């Protein structure tokens, strides 16, 4: 009989504890607003971490853009070529001077640049035109490309005298 009474007390106590727990939970503020705030906070943190990771993988610029006289020499070269001979998908067709020749990957096909580690300007070091049959001539501004080591214009139709300024290209091999 004692055992039966103990079991009854146990069930009663358990029922009373459960009822008090439910009543306590009813008095607690709703968890829904807190869950929304937590979700918002976690979303903001995730976005912040993602942006930070992306920014860490963007290389910082330690050098300036291409030297202005080098860009002008490329522009003069392109202007000295008959536009009719610049066919679609040729190297010269890719040249877009809205972009920097040394900074825009794939825009200036056939151009190689120096990338100094100090803050000096990038320089054009090689011009390798595709054999597209360009019809034109070399201008005197070619002599401003003083870092040029290679000039390949073969299998194209460049005519006229070789500019005297080509003597300025001391590194040309």
**Domains in the chain: boundaries:** 2-56, 64-168
| CATH architecture for the domain at 64-168 | Alpha-Beta Horseshoe (3.80)
Helix (H, G, I), strand (E, B) or coil at 111: strand
- Write out the two tokens for 54: 């992306």
Which pLDDT value is given to residue 106? 79
Please check whether residue 168 is in contact with residue 151, taking contact to mean a CB–CB distance below 8 angstroms.
Answer: no
Other C-beta atoms closer than 10 Å to the C-beta of 128 total: 14
Which of the four pLDDT bands, split at 50, 70 and 90, describes residue 128?
A: very high
The pLDDT tens digits of the residues spanning 40-58 come to 655 554 555 454 454 444 4
Whether residue 101 is predicted with pLDDT greater than 50 in this model: the reply is yes
Residue 81 in tokens = 């070529």
Which two tokens mark 15? 């029922």
More confident residue, 19 or 125: 125
Backbone phi, then psi, for 62, in 5-degree steps? -105, -5
pLDDT at 99: 93
Within 8 A by CB and 6+ apart from 87, the residues are: 93, 132, 133
Query: What pLDDT does residue 41 have?
Result: 54
């Amino acid at each position: 009989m004692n055992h039966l009474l103990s079991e009854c007390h146990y069930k009663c106590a358990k029922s009373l504890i459960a009822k008090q727990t439910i009543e306590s939970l009813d008095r607690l503020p709703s968890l829904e607003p807190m869950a929304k705030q937590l979700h918002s906070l976690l979303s903001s943190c995730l976005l912040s971490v993602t942006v930070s990771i992306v920014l860490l993988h963007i290389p910082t610029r330690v050098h300036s853009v291409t030297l202005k006289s080098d860009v002008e020499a490329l522009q003069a070269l392109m202007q000295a070529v008959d536009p009719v001979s610049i066919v679609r998908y040729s190297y010269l067709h890719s040249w877009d001077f809205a972009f920097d020749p040394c900074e825009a990957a794939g825009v200036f096909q056939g151009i190689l640049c120096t990338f100094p580690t100090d803050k000096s300007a990038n320089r054009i070091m090689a011009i390798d035109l595709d054999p597209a049959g360009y019809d034109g001539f070399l201008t005197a501004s070619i002599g401003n490309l003083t870092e040029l080591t290679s000039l390949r214009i073969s299998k194209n139709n460049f005519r006229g005298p070789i500019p005297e300024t080509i003597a300025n290209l001391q590194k040309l091999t």
